[in-house]
């Protein structure tokens, strides 16, 4: 069954190729297609394209389908093209002519657009919530290990004194930046394209602000051509936000892989979180973080993939857009998995105590010594040369007592300030308001 069905059939090979993975991927869109339809039919009744009785029949049936989707009892039949066709088919089978009225005033184009917006909006909430678990874990570790010193590197050479508290806290605050970008994408996506039809509006007297309110969108895509231009662009914005989170998470994973190397030995993973070698009995490999690193590296290519699929297309709808689901949907799932696994594994990492007590890391304290001389009245450049000469002569024996007080330093991590920054961004999404709106639509 196809919403565009003509009097002739479609070549089987062409049909298989054009449908692609839509049946499998569209299952993820099923609840959102139903939500969009629930809002749309209320609007149709308002403009007298449905009677109140027809609205009641359609609403009851759609709400029943929604529950079937939620418990996993919904499928797209082999001879049905996509989720939109399947839902309209089920409505028609149950309600007859009433089911055929549901498509009035919309096209499959804006139906897909609204489904994707609702899906992305829900996935952004899921990603943000999963990020929060990792953020909280990093903040907890930062506070717990604020006094535990470690080397800081530049050019991968020993540079200055750092701490595990500072290191964990850095990735927590980096996630705040990623959340801010995700919030910006959320604000762009949280606009209603429904009613733009095939991208050129409709001669029906649609009330598009009504469906905007019913679906909990913050605003409307007013220009109908602009609404259609959002296909591909929304995915591009999503890709950038996923890549940004992947950038942070991939770098954290790389640090852990590096620091767990025996030549560093800053930290270890419990045995049951590592894998072994088929020929080297001693091996305990940090595969979980290597795979997180690899997945996150793949995410870096996501914006380019989306751009290459859509960058040279003129305005209007094109079937190329279908392929975006194959690129983006798995990436969203993989990112959530990586965030969850990182949170789980980080909670079990074991850090090496008293890492800087030996002489191996004496040079880390050279800047501290320069600063002490400056505070005693020696000009900075003179202090720099004095310490440099001591190092060259092998006479450098630093005082390893540290006094760092400024904001964001070893002695002043500003954990609560970073938490407040996170909370400002996170609460700005307004997830609760969206949930309440959709709950009303399903009642």
Contact 22, 325 (CB under 8 A): yes
Count the domains in the chain.
3
> Are residue 47 and residue 129 in the same domain, yes or no?
no
Q: Which domain holds residue 368?
A: 361-393
Which among 296, 317, 321, 293 is positioned nearest to 306, based on CA atoms?
Answer: 321
**pLDDT for residue 24:** 81
**pLDDT for residue 15:** 63
> Are residue 242 and residue 348 in the same domain, yes or no?
yes
For residue 223, the tally of other CB atoms under 10 A from its CB is: 11
Q: Decide if 55 is inside a domain.
A: yes
Query: For residue 159, what is the enclosing H or E element?
Result: strand 157-163
For residue 30, the tally of other CB atoms under 10 A from its CB is: 23
Which tokens belong to 4?
């565009």
**pLDDT for residue 25:** 85
Q: Decide if 69 is inside a domain.
A: yes
The strand pair at 219-220 and 191-192 is best described as parallel
**pLDDT for residue 3:** 54
Q: Decide if 6 is inside a domain.
A: no
> Are residue 184 and residue 81 in the same domain, yes or no?
no
Phi, psi values for residue 153, rounded to 5°: -120, 145
Distances (CA, A) of 31 to 118, 125, 383, 430: 9, 16, 68, 20
Q: Decide if 28 is inside a domain.
A: yes
Residue 279 makes CB contacts below 8 A (sequence gap 6+) with none
Q: Decide if 304 is inside a domain.
A: yes
**pLDDT for residue 4:** 43
> Are residue 343 and residue 281 in the same domain, yes or no?
yes
Distances (CA, A) of 162 to 68, 251, 361, 370: 54, 17, 12, 17
> Are residue 352 and residue 373 in the same domain, yes or no?
no
- Supply the CATH number for residue 68's domain: 1.10.275.10
**pLDDT for residue 7:** 52
Which among 201, 9, 219, 234 is positioned nearest to 109, based on CA atoms?
Answer: 201
Q: Decide if 290 is inside a domain.
A: yes
Give the residue ranges of the chain where pLDDT is below 50: 4
> Are residue 178 and residue 231 in the same domain, yes or no?
yes
**pLDDT for residue 358:** 81
Q: Decide if 434 is inside a domain.
A: no
Q: Decide if 191 is inside a domain.
A: yes
Q: What is the dihedral of CA 310, 316, 322, 326, to 10 degrees?
A: 30
> Are residue 21 and residue 146 in the same domain, yes or no?
no
For residue 31, the tally of other CB atoms under 10 A from its CB is: 22
> Are residue 237 and residue 282 in the same domain, yes or no?
yes
Q: Out of 46, 76, 103, pick the residue that ends a domain.
A: 103
The residues pairing with 153 across neighbouring beta strands, listed in sequence order, are: 158
> Are residue 350 and residue 371 in the same domain, yes or no?
no
Which among 375, 368, 370 is positioned nearest to 409, based on CA atoms?
Answer: 368
> Are residue 82 and residue 168 in the same domain, yes or no?
no
| pLDDT tens digit sequence for 270-320 | 988 888 878 988 888 899 999 999 999 999 999 999 999 998 899 998 988
> Are residue 367 and residue 346 in the same domain, yes or no?
no
> Are residue 266 and residue 150 in the same domain, yes or no?
yes
Helix (H, G, I), strand (E, B) or coil at 158: strand
């Amino acid at each position: 069954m196809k919403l565009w069905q003509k009097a002739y059939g479609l070549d089987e090979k062409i049909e298989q190729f054009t449908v692609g993975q839509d049946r499998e991927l569209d299952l993820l869109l099923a609840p959102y297609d139903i939500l969009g339809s629930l809002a749309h039919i209320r609007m149709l009744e308002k403009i007298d394209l449905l009677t109140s009785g027809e609205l009641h029949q359609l609403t009851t049936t759609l709400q029943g389908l929604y529950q079937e989707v939620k418990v996993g009892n919904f499928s797209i039949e082999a001879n049905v093209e996509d989720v939109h066709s399947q839902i309209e088919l089920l409505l028609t089978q149950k309600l007859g002519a009433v089911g055929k009225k549901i498509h009035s005033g919309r096209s499959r184009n804006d139906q897909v657009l609204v489904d994707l917006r609702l899906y992305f909006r829900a996935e952004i909430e899921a990603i943000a919530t999963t990020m929060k678990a990792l953020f909280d874990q990093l903040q907890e570790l930062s506070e717990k290990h604020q006094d535990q010193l470690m080397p800081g590197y530049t050019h991968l050479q020993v540079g200055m004194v750092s701490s595990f508290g500072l290191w964990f806290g850095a990735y927590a605050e980096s996630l705040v930046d990623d959340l801010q970008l995700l919030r910006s994408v959320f604000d762009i996506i949280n606009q209603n394209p429904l009613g733009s039809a095939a991208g050129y509006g409709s001669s029906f007297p649609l009330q598009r602000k009504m469906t905007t309110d019913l679906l909990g969108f913050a605003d409307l895509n007013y220009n109908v051509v602009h609404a259609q231009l959002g296909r591909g662009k929304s995915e591009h914005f999503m890709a950038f936000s996923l890549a940004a989170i992947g950038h942070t998470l991939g770098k954290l994973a790389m640090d852990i892989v590096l620091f767990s190397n025996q030549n560093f030995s800053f930290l270890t993973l419990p045995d049951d979180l590592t894998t072994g070698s088929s020929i080297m009995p001693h091996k305990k490999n940090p595969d979980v973080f290597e795979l997180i690193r690899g997945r996150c590296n793949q995410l870096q290519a996501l914006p380019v993939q989306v751009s290459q699929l859509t960058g040279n297309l003129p305005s209007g709808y094109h079937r190329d857009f279908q392929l975006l689901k194959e690129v983006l949907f798995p990436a969203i799932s993989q990112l959530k998995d990586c965030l969850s696994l990182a949170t789980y594994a980080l909670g079990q990492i074991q850090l090496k105590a008293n890492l800087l007590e030996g002489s191996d890391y004496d040079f880390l304290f050279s800047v501290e010594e320069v600063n002490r001389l400056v505070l005693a009245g020696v000009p900075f450049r003179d202090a720099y040369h004095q310490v440099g000469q001591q190092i060259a002569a092998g006479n450098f024996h630093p005082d390893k007592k540290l006094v760092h007080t400024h904001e964001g330093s070893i002695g002043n991590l500003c954990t609560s300030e970073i938490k407040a920054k996170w909370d400002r961004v996170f609460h700005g999404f307004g997830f609760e308001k969206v949930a309440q709106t959709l709950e009303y639509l399903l009642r």
